[in-house]
Structure formats: C-alpha cells, structure tokens
Chains A and B, each alone.
Chain A
Amino acid sequence: MLKVEETQPVEFSSALLAKFDEVVKRYPEGKQKSALLPLLHLVQAEFGWTSVPAMDKVAEYLKIQPIEVYEVASFYTMYFLQPKGKYVLEVCRTGPCCLVGAEKIMDHIAQKLGVKEGEVTADGLFSWRGVECLAACGFGPVLQIGPEYTFYENLTEQSVDQLIDDLKNKDLRQ
C-alpha cells in the first residue's frame, strides 16, 4: 500500500544522519544493510511514518536498492506506510488479553475517539489499532504508544479515558 500521492520530498537532518552513522558501526564492514530496521525506526520517530521518499533516502544512505527497503518496511508491522495520528494507540488483541477484556477496551477507544481502526481523528492527534501479542499477557489489557513505545497496563475504560485526555492536554500545552 505505497501511496504515491502522499510522497513529498524529505530532508534528513545532520542530527539524524549522525544517529545513522552510530548504528552502522555495529556491523562488520560491508554488512551495513543490517542497519535497515533500526534506521527505519529512527526515520519513523522523526517523521511519524516511513514515506517512499524517506525510504529512498535510507536506501541511498545504505547503498542498497530502494526495493530492498520497501520489501522490509512492508513486511514488518511497526512501520507505517501511511501518515497516522500523532499518537497511535496500539492495543493488544491476542488471546490472553482478550480473556481479560481487550475487546471491550478496543470498542471503547473506537467510541471515545470516534474513528475506526486505522483512521486518524479530525484533529490529527489520534489513531488506534489492534496489534498482536505484546508480551505482557499477565498485565492485560495493555496498549503501547510510539515512538518510545510507552506501555500502559491493566487498562480499564476509565484509565483509557484518562490517558486520552492527558495526551490531549499535553498537546494543547505544547
């Protein structure tokens, strides 16, 4: 699902490129492609998603073909190939969390935000989606919010309301 019309040229800051340089040092000479996944995380943290022009720049930096970046970004679920809300609430939807009410939490989030899974709220602040097991089954229901993947455990409808309100307020202050 690479959308051509969404693609605007991007520039990588020297600070971002310095981070790239640090990552590439971890691998042996000539194996710089290993840096691809970490680099895409850095790009997404900076721009909110991984656009085609950004991926092309990563390819150029790593001296690999653009297709080698696209095929990786489209394989792994963490990379957004379309713009999302500023805060993406990712709720675990797998078995153990469902035993303790994850489905209700997702319904509640959809209602509270007024958008379906994958959509962005009108103010551009929020998206939400169900994701597969986040390895926190004993503390479910759980959700995470990138780019730092802050974790929220033992969710209730009240704690989700509070979280969304806090994020809104935080954004107003900025």
Chain B
Amino acid sequence: MGRKLLLEHINVPGINTLAVYREKGGYRAVEKALKTLTPEDIVEEVKKSGLRGRGGAGFPTGMKWSFLAKPEGVPRYLVCNGDESEPGTFKDRFLMTHIPHALIEGMIVSSYALGANTSYIYVRGEMMPQIRILEKAIEEAKAAGFLGKNILGTGYDLELYVQPGGGAYICGEETALLESLEGKRGNPRIKPPFPAIAGLYGCPTVVNNVESIAAVVPIVNDGGDEYAKIGIGRSTGTKLISASGNLVKPGVYEIELGLPVEEFIYSDEYCGGIANGKRLKATVAGGSSVPILPANLTLKLANGEPRLMSYESLSEGGFATGTMLGSGGFIAFDEDQCIVRNTWNFSSFYHHESCGQCSPCREGTGWMEKILHKIEHGHGTMEDIDLLWDVQRKIEGNTICPLGDAAAWPVAAAIRHFRDEFEWHVKEPMKSQSTNYGLANYANPIEKAPEEVKSQN
C-alpha cells in the first residue's frame, strides 16, 4: 500500500465537516504555522519538500513562491486554481467535494506564508455544488476562528472567497484566470511581467493548483524533508491520478510518485486492468494535452525498462518515445478505440476552447479539426495526413499561452505513433466507417514515424 497524504481519511464518514476533519488531525498545520513558524520558514519547508505544481506544468512550488515581489504597502494575493477542465482530469473536483477543509487549511497556511490577507479560490462555474461545499467549509472555519481577523490570536488576518468561472478551459491558464477574476474575458496575458510581479489588480500574486495547495498541509505538519522522502528523484511526494477510459476501476487514486505504470493499470489496488477483458491499445498519461502513447511505450521505456509514474520517467525519451505526467489525467484506450476519432474529438475541444487571440491557435485548431473530421469520415487523402502534421507544427511554440502547444501535441503524437491507422482510414474509407483498426502494428511504432519526427527530438 502506498502512503496517502491527501486522501488518507477519504472514507471517514463526515470528513467534509470541520468537526470530523479536526478529529483526524485537521487544522494542526494552521496552529503550527501561525504560532511557531515564520512565513519564510514555510517557504523554506515547501522548497525542501521538492513539491512541484500539480496543475500540469510541474514547476517547483517553493521556487514560484520565492519569486513573489514584496513591495511596501502593496497587497499580495494568493489565488487557487480550481478551474479543472483538462480532459481526463477530475482530481480537484474529487478533493473539493470530499475533503474541502484540506484545501481551506492549505489556503490559510499558504496565504500566511506569502503574506496575503485576501485570497481567492477560483472554481470553474460548472462546479456549483463544489462552490457551495467550499463556501460552507469557509463558514465553518471562520466560526472556529481559523479565518477572519486575528486568527487564533496571532494577529494574522485572512479573508477567503470562492469565485465561480463562466465555462472556459482557457481560464486554467494562470493569467487568463486572473483576467477572469477581474471580470474580463479569459484572454491570457503576455508574460513578462509574471503574476509574481504584476498579477491580480496589478499586485504580486501567486496562482497554485488545488492539489498543490492541499499538499502544503502535510509539508507543514511533517516537514519538507519528510515529504521529500516519498517518491523518486525529483518527483517527490504523492500525486492524485484521475483514471478514466476503458478501465475496470476508473476513479481518483493517490499514488507515491515512482509507481510502475504497469502496476497502476493492472493491480487491484489501483485500476484493476482493462475493462471487459480487452487489451490495452494506448494511454494518455497526463490529461488530453500530453502525447498519446501506444501500449508498449506506456508500460516500458524505449530501452525496455519499466516506465514509472513520475515526471522524469513519463517524459523519458522526449516526445519521440515519451509523454508527460501533466495534470495526472490518465486515460486508457482499449483495443476497440479509434485513435483518429479520439484525436478529432480532442481537436474539436481545443478549437472550441481557443480564446482566439493568437492566429496560429485560433485558425490552426479549426484546420486540424476539419482535416481530422474529413479523415475520420472516410474522405481523407494521404496529403491530408501530411497537412495535419504541417499545421500542428505551425501552432506549437507560436502562441502567447500553452493552449496552442496543448492542441498540437496530441495530434503530433497520434500521427507519430499511429500513422498506419490514419493511412488505413484513407485507404479503406468504407471499412473505417463500420469497423475499427484494432491493435494492429502498435507494437513497433517508432519506425513508422515520418523523418521529421525523428529529427525533432
């Protein structure tokens, strides 16, 4: 059994209430932090812990905190990113639904560490039930003296508010989120300046994912060194993985980073294997934006060693043979799933969610959706596959925010590893409408990639 830091008490009845949460040791971190630690001590512990942002980018949280500007007389803000919208990712919804106080406690400790007296939790508007849950938890915490003026008699003041979004994937990008919180369209800002210098209302701001904030609680309780003992290499601690797709037991799992992917998919402690006795065809390991991998490269590195659930192991081999841990949205595809159809689906998602600021993304995502629609519906040509490759390359790296990359990578990876399936759709247009390509040649994908792919990494 792996250690659980966030979901240890998930099955305790009433853990969503303050009373039960405290019985299980909740709010110890607030007492410890505010009464015995300075803000600098906490930043130091978070640095030592090696915690990396759990929203997808994986940037070290302690380092992000240490960049925060501290000009005299200017308020600083902590904003929690609860705009969870990456296809395949549903861990933050789970955490906020079942253990809301873990997030509230993390927010109090983190706000104290950053010197923020007003903090916001931005939650996507569709999660109205979770917004109600958090608001209730905030009320409880306030009544118990953990929020408001002079918390626990320490002289520290903090007001915490929940802000609903309006339905836009792009608001998960931190500067788009800040624009949205200011009551504007979610158009990402050009960086620099980074939010640490000029964020919410032009003031120094830190934006952290829900899971990152919740992870600060065990770090403060047990110390950064203890946290860093869990995991492997620079992937320290535990990670919530959202498992979906054709699995026996989809759901949210807390794993110690470094768990072999094979164990995660097939062991009964986690996903319990592929549903309906079928075989694994491919996985998307970290949310829809990261490259899709065929089954063989999911389970093993190109050199044959087992692949692990960690930032480093999942990205081993670059994009030629690897992927990314991303947000931990783990999607499994069984042998009956069509890669072309799924890629078309993801492309239409990115087209829909592009904010429209940058031409390569606004136009390119639409082009990719159209070409994929054409191939999927039996009207594609071989040139279309090359055109698709060309379009995705022209989006990647040419946009203000990472949505362009996020739209390009899944298309590139699908062609890189499953080009034969795209070609089959072109060669067998009628057959492709009624049957699926199946597992076919996925076992040996690298030789099938075009020359450009090989030189890319």
The residues of A with any CB-CB pair to B shorter than 8 Å are 26, 28, 31, 33-38, 40-41, 62, 64, 68, 71-72, 75-79, 93-96, 98-100, 131-140, 144, 146-151
Closest 5 CB pairs of A and B: A76-B166, A137-B244, A78-B167, A36-B183, A33-B183
In the complex, are the beta carbons of B345 and A136 less than 8 A apart? no
One of B84, B161, B252, B352 near A138 (C-beta < 8 A): B252
Chain B residues closer than 8 Å to A147, beta-carbon distance? 128
In the complex, are the beta carbons of A40 and B90 less than 8 A apart? no
| Given A94-B87, A94-B346, 20 further pairs, Cβ under 8 A | A26-B159, A28-B118, A33-B184, A34-B163, A68-B184, A75-B168, A76-B165, A76-B168, A76-B186, A94-B345, A96-B88, A96-B331, A131-B126, A132-B353, A133-B88, A133-B169, A136-B90, A137-B242, A137-B245, A138-B242
In the complex, are the beta carbons of A137 and B250 less than 8 A apart? yes
Q: Is B201 at the interface (CB under 8 A from chain A)?
A: yes
Q: Is B182 at the interface (CB under 8 A from chain A)?
A: yes
One of B128, B346, B352 near A148 (C-beta < 8 A): B128
- In the complex, per-residue mask of B156-196: 1 if CB is within 8 Å of any chain A CB, else 0: 00010101111111000000000011111110000000000
Complex: chain B residue closest to A93, CB-CB: B345
The residues of B with any CB-CB pair to A shorter than 8 Å are 75, 84-90, 92-93, 118, 120, 124-129, 159, 161, 163-169, 180-186, 201, 242-246, 250-252, 284, 288, 329, 331, 333, 337, 341-342, 345-346, 349, 352-353, 355
Complex: chain B residue closest to A41, CB-CB: B164
One of B161, B168, B184 near A77 (C-beta < 8 A): B168
In the complex, are the beta carbons of B353 and A99 less than 8 A apart? no
One of A99, A131, A148 near B333 (C-beta < 8 A): A99
Q: How far is the CB of A34 from chain B (nearest CB, A)?
A: 5
Complex Cα–Cα for A37 and B176 (A): 14
With A37-B183, A75-B185 already in contact, the answer to whether A135 and B85 are too (CB < 8 A) is yes
Complex Cα–Cα for A55 and B438 (A): 51
In the complex, are the beta carbons of A96 and B166 less than 8 A apart? no
Interface majority SS (helix, strand, loop, mixed), chain B = mixed
In the complex, are the beta carbons of B246 and A99 less than 8 A apart? yes
Chain B residues closer than 8 Å to A134, beta-carbon distance? 126
In the complex, are the beta carbons of B164 and A28 less than 8 A apart? no
Complex: chain B residue closest to A133, CB-CB: B87
Q: How far is the CB of B184 from chain A (nearest CB, A)?
A: 7
Complex: chain A residue closest to B345, CB-CB: A95
Complex: chain A residue closest to B355, CB-CB: A75
In the complex, are the beta carbons of A151 and B129 less than 8 A apart? yes
In the complex, are the beta carbons of B329 and A137 less than 8 A apart? yes
In the complex, are the beta carbons of B345 and A35 less than 8 A apart? no
One of B168, B181, B331 near A99 (C-beta < 8 A): B331
Complex: chain A residue closest to B132, CB-CB: A148
In the complex, are the beta carbons of B161 and A95 less than 8 A apart? no
One of B87, B93, B159, B184 near A96 (C-beta < 8 A): B87
One of B92, B159, B166, B352 near A78 (C-beta < 8 A): B166
Complex: chain B residue closest to A31, CB-CB: B201
One of A36, A37, A77, A138 near B244 (C-beta < 8 A): A138
With A100-B246, A135-B93, A137-B331 already in contact, the answer to whether A31 and B182 are too (CB < 8 A) is yes
Complex: chain A residue closest to B181, CB-CB: A34
Most chain B CB atoms below 10 A, which of A35, A133, A150: A133
In the complex, are the beta carbons of A72 and B87 less than 8 A apart? no
One of A37, A79, A95 near B180 (C-beta < 8 A): A37
One of A31, A68, A95, A132 near B169 (C-beta < 8 A): A132
One of B163, B167, B186, B242 near A38 (C-beta < 8 A): B163
Chain B residues closer than 8 Å to A138, beta-carbon distance? 90, 242-244, 250-252
In the complex, are the beta carbons of B89 and A33 less than 8 A apart? no
In the complex, are the beta carbons of A132 and B349 less than 8 A apart? yes
Complex: chain A residue closest to B252, CB-CB: A138
Sample 24 A-B pairs with CB under 8 A, ordered by A number: A26-B120, A28-B75, A28-B201, A31-B201, A33-B182, A38-B164, A41-B125, A41-B164, A62-B183, A64-B183, A93-B345, A95-B331, A95-B346, A96-B88, A131-B126, A132-B85, A132-B352, A133-B169, A134-B126, A135-B126, A137-B88, A137-B329, A137-B331, A139-B90
Chain B residues closer than 8 Å to A38, beta-carbon distance? 163-164
One of A35, A37, A64, A137 near B166 (C-beta < 8 A): A37
Chain B residues closer than 8 Å to A93, beta-carbon distance? 345
In the complex, are the beta carbons of A149 and B183 less than 8 A apart? no
Chain B residues closer than 8 Å to A136, beta-carbon distance? 90, 93
Chain A residues closer than 8 Å to B75, beta-carbon distance? 28
Complex: chain A residue closest to B203, CB-CB: A28
In the complex, are the beta carbons of B166 and A40 less than 8 A apart? yes
Most chain B CB atoms below 10 A, which of A72, A100, A131, A138: A138
In the complex, are the beta carbons of A72 and B183 less than 8 A apart? yes
Complex Cα–Cα for A28 and B93 (A): 28
Q: How far is the CB of A143 from chain B (nearest CB, A)?
A: 11
Complex Cα–Cα for A75 and B187 (A): 10
With A95-B345, A137-B244 already in contact, the answer to whether A72 and B184 are too (CB < 8 A) is yes
With A34-B182, A76-B167 already in contact, the answer to whether A149 and B126 are too (CB < 8 A) is yes
In the complex, are the beta carbons of B201 and A135 less than 8 A apart? no
Most chain A CB atoms below 10 A, which of B118, B166, B355: B166
Complex Cα–Cα for A93 and B92 (A): 20
In the complex, are the beta carbons of A150 and B166 less than 8 A apart? no
Q: How far is the CB of A84 from chain B (nearest CB, A)?
A: 14
